[in-house]
Amino acid sequence: MPDIAFLTLEDVLPLHEDAIAFAGGSSGLRSIELLQEAIAQPRFGGGWANAFPSGMAAAYAPLEPKSRIR
């Protein structure tokens, strides 16, 4: 099985900016620490999470930038 490529903070910040540009709202983050914890959750969510990479991919799918969804 190939290694799983987890999202990083550098991956998520542009997605956040895209979401604000698309839907509106205030720019910036309430807490960078909370975002970092959320990003780390799939990586350290227990051994069961990595047993189902297709489920993990499906969970990340809505985070694709709109320019890549066609």
Q: Number of structural domains, the chain? A: 1
Which spans in the chain are helix H? 9-23, 32-44, 47-50, 53-60
**What is the C-alpha to C-alpha distance for residues 11 and 5, in angstroms, rounded to an integer?**
11
Domain with 58, as residue range(s), is 9-68
Residue 4 — pLDDT band, cuts 50, 70, 90?
confident
The lowest-confidence range among 2-6, 34-38, 51-55, 64-68 is 64-68
**What is the C-alpha to C-alpha distance for residues 43 and 31, in angstroms, rounded to an integer?**
20
Q: Does residue 22 belong to any structural domain of this protein? A: yes
- Average pLDDT for the chain: 76
Residue 10 — pLDDT band, cuts 50, 70, 90?
very high
Q: Does residue 37 belong to any structural domain of this protein? A: yes
Q: Helices 32-44 and 9-23, interaxial angle, to 10°?
A: 120
pLDDT tens string 22-54: 999 888 888 999 999 888 887 776 555 556 666
